Structure 1
Amino acid sequence: MTTIIVGGGWSGLAAAVRLLERGESVHLIESAKQLGGRARNVSWNEQTIDNGQHLLIGAYQQTLKLLQDIGAEESELFQRLPLNVSIRHPYFADLTLTDTRYLPWPLSLIIKTWQLNGFPVFVQLSRLMFKARLQKKLDDIPVLTWLKKEKQSERLIKQLWEPLCLATMNTPVSEASTHLFANVLLDTFKKREYADFLIPKVPLGDSLPAYAERYIQQKGGEISLQKRIKSILIEENKAMGVVTADDMHLKADNIIVATGSHTTQRLMGKYWSSPQPRFYPIITVYLQYTPDTKLSRPLLGLSGTLGQWVFDRGNGLLAIVISGPGKHLESTNDELIDRLHDEFCQADLVITSALIDGYVIREKRATFSSYVDVSSDRPHTQSSVNGLYLAGDIIHNLYPATLEGAVINGEKAAELIMTINTVR
């Protein structure tokens, strides 16, 4: 039986791999000239960068398992670092989250939090983590409402929870879902290794997309790039195939739509029964400094400034992430570059004369908004049409829009197809 997968992002790739390893026939179709979706390679100044700076963590168990299964060595693709992040703010002392390997988890994190940040911060963090599991069982509320209810200080809200919420959910704390945020916190800190940072050593397009492409071809799967799907053929409530933009009809027994939610909604047409998705942007700014420019650690958090998270990509290249809505969206690219450079100079991270060049990447619809009760609005893997399945990060799971969520949903669609085929 043949499955057509529309979309070559991480979700579509995950579905293709899992189907092929079970002997299914797969044709993956991607409209872009390369695989990877929103985690793909971009060329700039004779170097390859990501279209948006991503960070994987040790809790991404299905993504890491998938990479292992297709022959990728984690150590070749990522630098795994124990939890050790410092977040700066113009008016507060640096806030540091780390642990020591000399004590069992989570005692090591608790002790270090107390030592580095003081007893009040330790009490507030402990209280929130203790209440997270309980909060998941109550009605969903905005993260900010939950933080205030649990007596989080203004400092912790502004310096920790706001940047962390934007980083994980791309949604402001005033409207973000506490249920999803609590899931992120609980899973991240469940085990010591889950809290590890996996800093990419290579552009992300050279990780899962490259390895999955080779695996698909080795297993006899078909990949079509730069081919856009115009519509899905449905007869008597059964998916029969797809029609390409050049009016080519491709037949299939099953179809997985693993595209961005706006494209999925267009292809589904009247069969899309969920509310209109809401989106928020992410801006990634690359600042190229002289090669001797180096941060004190690979990842630095910022709060109270335009920049939110700064990654040291080596050789003087810094990648700065600006998530969510805000007035910064009205700024020109040059204005963003100048403002970030000024912030770094004021924070003594760089010297004024070291800046060589800058580059701005804007993803206007980077992720869906993880608003309160969004889980009830997210569509499920099995659509109302027989043989038509949905993947991509917006499809229902316990997490916001992440690479892990995309992989989970791709594998879920593949598993559902194989389960139904077995029953038949």
Structure 2
Amino acid sequence: MRAGVVGGGWAGIAAAVGLADAGHDVTVFEMAPQLGGRARSVAGEPDYDNGQHILIGAYRDSLALMRRLGVDPDAVLKRLPLALPYPDEPGLCLPPGPPLVAFARGVLAHRSWPLSARLGLLIAAGGWLARGFRCDARLSVAELCTGLPAAVRRDLVEPLCVAALNTPAPQASARVFLRVLKDALFSGAGSADLLLPRRPLSELLAAPATTWLGERLRTGHRVQRLEAGWRVDGEAFDAVVLASTSVEAARLTAAVAPAWSATAQALAFQPIVTIYLHSPGSALPSPMVALREGPQAPAQFVFDHGQLGGAPGRFAFVVSGAAPWVERGGCAEAVLAQALREFRWSAPPIIDRTLTEKRATFACTPGLARPVAHIAPGLWAAGDYVDGPYPATLEGAVRAGLAAAQGAAADVADAATGDKGAKGAASGSPTKTP
């Protein structure tokens, strides 16, 4: 079949590769001059990434896609055991081994927490495990964890929640949070490992995909209209995968699928702000350090690029769930003050640059109605925002792209054979794919 993919982020790349590997004729439309979406290097300045992105060991489809495009994950990603060190203490660190054993050992060894706090976390985690990591869809993360000791909420739950869901714990979906914990902490050895980019972000997927797709790719082309049939700016396709942002997808489907468009348009967003500081000769205690957020302390994490194969003396301070700071006009000076309080520097740090992604992710709130993946026969949505159990992550985007490619191909095959029945595993939400 002839398939059009609108959008060249990680979801669009996954969909295009999946369709091409299945033997289909693919055309990718991307409005930006380069692929990668929100997870790419800054155009014209490849040494800077559009915010600090990380992967974890559980991102198996993302890692497989990188390998398919000729990228060795071990060469471009630094694998570290899950650890949340703070400037003044080692924090929680999970040792290698079977997930349940490693989690229990890591928690019990965390001497900065009193024994009662450690046991309280293990009891709560055991309850989540016994319930299959499911809970009432109306619960927030803060409500789910009300009974946990304050130190556990402060040093583990809140930073993990804002890092994974980009939504503060009082507003974040407990159901989605539990699914993240299940996959990261309890789905297999190494699943919780942190995979930190040691190369510019575009080298992980966008640049290899550009070479791989070749003449299939049309960059600098913002699609203006989508017509039933399916026609993209007047060009006919057998199937179309909308792998653009939810805002663009809502615009393009307003006439052909108004109900779906309204659901996509209703999504709210959370920003992420990344403040790059420069301090020659300085280094952090570890490549990634967690920070305690507060009224005058915006950042929750900081990354030492010098320890990750990047520019020595460059540090990326990340402010997730940054809506209050964006509304106040920014947080660069507050982050600089936070950095001066938390660390010792060989040279006074200066603000190198500030990157603000105002629509970094959808706001992952309890009971959120997310648009489904299957819009109409031959028309699928692929993105980290589509309906499913995961928050807006790179892995969610890749899985959505792969599932949309399968679904689009199944739609066309069904139309060719006159089969109007169920589509099996290709139907429904792509992010529900195991």
| Identical amino acids, percent of aligned pairs | 31
Q: Does the CA-based 8 Å contact 2:46-2:200 persist in structure 1? A: no
Aligned to 2:292: 303
Q: Contact conserved, 1:95 with 1:159, CA < 8 A, in 2?
A: no
Distance 1:306 1:289 in 2: 20
TM-score for the superposition, normalised by structure 1? 0.88
Aligned-residue RMSD, C-alpha: 2.0
Asked if 1:363 corresponds to 2:353, the answer is no
> Contact (CA 8 Å) 1:337, 1:358: kept in 2 or not?
no
Matched, 1:98 2:97: no
Q: Identify the match of residue 172 of structure 1 among 164, 168, 174.
A: 168
Structure 1 residue 123 displacement after superposition: 1.4
Residues 1:195 and 2:192 aligned together: yes
For the 8 Å contact 2:241–2:380, the answer to whether it is kept is: yes
Q: Deviation per CA, 1:304-351: give whole Å up to 9, x if none.
A: 321111111110111111011453224555xx3332222222122425
2:379 counterpart residue number: 388
Matches of 2:94 and 2:284, distance apart in 1: 20
Is 2:259 aligned against 1:273?
yes
| Residue 356 (structure 1) shift | 4.2
Structure 2 distance, partners of 1:196, 1:20, is 31
Say if 2:192 is the partner of 1:207: no
Equivalence for 1:61: 60
* AA aligned opposite 1:284: T
Q: Is the 8 A contact 1:280 1:324 kept in 2?
A: yes
Alignment deviations for residues 46-105 of structure 1 (CA, whole Å, 9 cap, x no partner): 6621111111000111101111122210122111112222145xxxx746221334x644
Return structure 1 stretches of 4+ with deviation > 4 angstroms. none
| Mapped contact 2:81–2:95 kept (Cα < 8 A) | no
In the superposition, relative to structure 1, how do residues 138 and 346 fare at CA in structure 2: closer, same or farther (>3 Å)? closer
1:21-60 → structure 2 map (5 Å cutoff): 21-42=21-42, 48-60=47-59
Q: Supply the distance in 1 between the matched residues of 2:323 and 2:30 (Cα, whole angstroms).
A: 32
Tell me what 2:338 maps to: 343
The equivalent of 1:264 in structure 2 is: 249
Check the 8 A contact 1:136/1:178 in 2, yes or no: no
Uncovered stretches (5+) of structure 2, i.e. residues with no partner: 307-311, 417-434
Please tell me the residue identity of whatever aligns with 2:106: K
Q: Is the 8 A contact 1:180 1:399 kept in 2?
A: yes
Distance 1:161 1:58, change over 3 A: same
What SS is found at the alignment partner of 2:374?
coil
TM-score by length of 2: 0.86
Q: Deviations over 1:95-121 (max 9, x none)?
A: 6221334x6443233223212234223
Determine the C-alpha separation between the residues in 2 that align with 1:119 and 1:208.
44
Listed as ranges, the matches of 1:66-81 within 5 Å are 66-81=65-80
Aligned residues: 397
* CA–CA separation in structure 2 for the residues paired with 1:121 and 1:192: 25
Structure 2: distance between partners of 1:110 and 1:97: 11
Find 2:219's aligned residue among 216, 225, 229. 225
Classify 1:256/1:349 alpha carbon distance in 2 versus 1 (closer, same or farther; 3 Å).
Answer: farther
Quote how far apart the aligned CAs of 1:164 are: 1.3
